Structure 1
Amino acid sequence: MEIVKVKRKVDAIVLDLDGTLLNSNKEVSTRNLKSIVELHKLGIPIIIATARPPRAIKEFLPQELQEIAIFVYYNGALIMNQLLQLNEHYSIDSKINKQIIEYLMINEPNHLFSIEVNDKWYSYKEIDYRSFIKVSENPEVIDLEKIKLVSPTKILVSQLKNIEDFTKWFGDQVNIITTDSNSLTQIMREGISKETAITTLAKRLDFSLEKTMAFGDDFNDLGLFQLCGLPVAMENSIDELKTFAKEITTSNDEDGVANVLEKLLK
Structure 2
Amino acid sequence: MKNIYITDLDHTFLRNDLSISDYTKKIWNSFSDSSIMGIATARTHMKTVHFLKGVEVNAPMILLDGALIATMDKKIIETKTLCRNVSDMIIDEGWKFGIYPFVLSLSDEKNLRESFLHDKVLNKYQIEVLKRYSGDDNLKSFDGIRAEDKNFKIVYMADEELLIELHEHLVNIFGDDLKYILAPEAYVGCHFLTILNKDADKAHGIKSVSEYLGFNLQNLTVFGDNLNDIGMFNLANTAVAVANSHDDVLVLADVVLTYTNEEDAVAKYLESLS
CA contact (8 A) 1:97 1:148 kept: yes
Aligned-residue offset at 1:58: 3.8
TM-score norm. by structure 1 comes to: 0.86
SS of structure 1 residue aligned to 2:176: coil
2:69 aligns to what?
79
**Structure 2 counterpart of 1:166:** 170
Instruction: Check if 1:254 corresponds to 2:263.
Output: yes
Q: 1:185 aligns with which of 193, 208, 213?
A: 193
How far did 1:166 drift?
2.4
Amino acid at match of 1:37: N
Task: State yes or no: 1:15 paired with 2:7.
Answer: yes
Q: State whether structure 2 residue 142 is matched by structure 1 residue 154.
A: no
Q: Whose helix fraction is larger, Structure 1's or Structure 2's?
A: 1
Match of 1:263 in 2: 272
Measure how far apart 1:89 and its partner are: 2.0
Distance apart, 1:134 and its partner CA: 8.2
Aligned partner (choices 190, 197, 202) of residue 205 of structure 2: 197
3-state DSSP class of the match of 2:261?
A: coil
Aligned counterpart, 1:113? 101
Aligned to 1:27: 19
SS of the aligned residue for 1:112 comes to: coil
Output the CA distance in 2 between the equivalents of 1:58 and 1:135: 19
| 1:52 and 2:43 matched | yes
Please tell me the root mean square deviation across aligned C-alpha atoms, in Å: 2.3
In structure 2, what is the equivalent of residue 124 of structure 1? Answer: 119
- Describe the superposition over 1:205-259 as per-residue Cα deviations: whole angstroms up to 9, x where unpaired: 1112122000000000001100111100010000100111110111001110011
Q: Offset of 1:149 from its aligned partner? A: 5.5
- 2:144 matched residue in structure 1: 144
CA contact (8 A) 2:91 2:100 kept: no
Contact 1:195 1:227 in 2 (8 A): yes
> What is the percent sequence identity of the aligned residues?
25
1:27-83 alpha-carbon deviations (Å, 9 max, x no partner): 1112211121111111x1111110011121243222x32664531110001111157
Q: Determine helix, strand or coil for the equivalent of 2:46.
A: helix
Q: Which residue of 1 aligns with 2:111?
A: none
One-letter amino acid of the counterpart of residue 140, structure 1: K
SS in 2 for 1:22: coil
Is the contact made by 2:83 and 2:151 (CA closer than 8 Å) also made in structure 1?
Answer: yes
Cα distance in 2, alignment partners of residues 53 and 66 from structure 1: 18
Mapped to 1, the partners of 2:210 and 2:72 lie a distance apart of 17
Which structure 2 residues correspond to residues 223-234 of structure 1 after superposition, within 5 A? Answer: 223-234=231-242
Q: Which has the higher strand share?
A: 2
Corresponding residue of 1:88? 78
Q: Which SS does the other structure have where 1:202 is aligned?
A: helix
Structure 2 residue runs of 5 or longer lacking an equivalent are: 107-113
TM-score by length of 2: 0.84
Choose 119-128 or 222-231, whichever is displaced more. 119-128
